[in-house]
Amino acid sequence: MIKKTFKDLLREGRKGTKFIGTYLMQPSDMIIEIMKMAGFDFLIYDLEHERMTLSDVMRLVYVSEACGMVSVVRVPCVNEEYIKKVLDIGASCIKVPDIKTAEEAHRIVEYAKFPPYGHRGACSFVRALGYGSNPKASYAKANDETAISIIIEGPEGIANREEIISVDGIDSISIGQVDMSVTLGVPGEIFHPKVIDSILKCADLCLKYKKQLSVQIHTAEDIKLYQKHPAITHFHTDLPPTIFYKACKRLCDEIYKTVEPL
């Protein structure tokens, strides 16, 4: 089976295709398959929050590949050990939160790429390179297929956004809209005009440096806030527990409204 990667989604994004994903914080195989059936393109397995381990993530990457879901792993921080292990497991994209400077972005590229672009340790026996089945594994191909996504969220990152976005090797940018709302003085208002304006400025920079941007949405209507910007190619929705809660609440409310009192 041909594995679909986040780079594949980005190639489609450059042609105008939009794609949808969200975060998964609980290690559930079933949720991955259901969300793929529903139409999600990628899931981000979150090692920063909640309780997931690298062992959990390895299993989730297996399941993702089996059902055609693209796997992204959010590591806790700019950490060489986490980045290398996640990529050795076989994740097609790493996502690193709270990037403050271009120097941090450069370090991520160095950790994630094999020479000559970085110094990721080469081992042909890891899962990502076929468990040793191919002694002449193509490290150039691995470099080409590995996507790097970063999150800009705090005041320092916002101030340095152009230098960060311009770094070669960074493919996708996400905006931490909750953190940004706090920075801009409108805490929790992730769709406030100040927040949207700042996101669109980041999108302009992504267009300038040929990068792609993801944004957070709750409903399809929220997409209209971003003015169909060509650099905004992918969307993060509510997380599975929230989606499940909303569906359950809506169903229960409808039943209680409809049922006749005894």
Task: Give the model confidence (pLDDT) of 3-32 as tens digits.
Answer: 889 999 999 999 999 999 999 999 999 999
Residue 37 has pLDDT above 70, yes or no: yes
CA distance 251 to 191: 27
Residue 34 has pLDDT above 70, yes or no: yes
pLDDT value at residue 134:
76
Verify whether residue 119 is a known catalytic residue.
Answer: no
Confidence of residue 108 (pLDDT cuts 50, 70, 90): very high
pLDDT value at residue 121:
86
User: Of 49, 106, 229, 236, which is the active-site residue?
Assistant: 49
Q: Which residues, in sequence order, are bridge partners of residue 42?
A: 21, 70
- Is the distance from CB of 18 to CB of 235 less than 8 angstroms? yes
- Is the distance from CB of 177 to CB of 166 less than 8 angstroms? no
Share of the chain above pLDDT 70, in %: 97
Confidence of residue 111 (pLDDT cuts 50, 70, 90): very high
Residue 199 has pLDDT above 90, yes or no: yes
Q: Which residues, in sequence order, are bridge partners of residue 20?
A: 235
Residue 127 has pLDDT above 70, yes or no: yes
Residue 1 has pLDDT above 60, yes or no: no
Neighbouring residues of 213: CB distance < 8 A, sequence distance ≥ 6? 172, 173, 174, 175, 199, 202, 203, 206, 229, 231, 232, 233
Residue 214 is inside which H or E element, if any? strand 212-216
CA distance 168 to 247: 42
Average pLDDT of the chain is 93
Confidence of residue 141 (pLDDT cuts 50, 70, 90): confident
- Residue 69 is given by DSSP the state -
Neighbouring residues of 110: CB distance < 8 A, sequence distance ≥ 6? 117, 118, 119, 120
Tell me the mean pLDDT in the region 147-167: 95
pLDDT value at residue 262:
61
Token pair belonging to 64: 């993702």
CA distance 45 to 53: 10
Residue 261: cis peptide before it, omega within 30 degrees of 0: no
Residue 188 has pLDDT above 80, yes or no: yes
Please report, for residues 6, 7, 12, the alpha-carbon distance to residue 208 in angstroms, rounded to integers and kept in the order given: 21, 19, 18
Residue 103 has pLDDT above 80, yes or no: yes
pLDDT in tens, 214-224: 999 999 999 99
Residue 151 is inside which H or E element, if any? strand 147-152
CA distance 218 to 178: 13
- The model carries a pTM of 0.92
Please list, residue by residue across 89-112, b when 16 or more beta carbons sit within 10 angstroms of its beta carbon and e when fewer do.
bbbbbbbbbbbbbbebbbbbbbbb
Confidence of residue 2 (pLDDT cuts 50, 70, 90): low
Among the residue ranges 57-61, 88-92, 134-138, the one predicted with the least confidence is 134-138
Instruction: Provide the residue count of the chain.
Output: 262
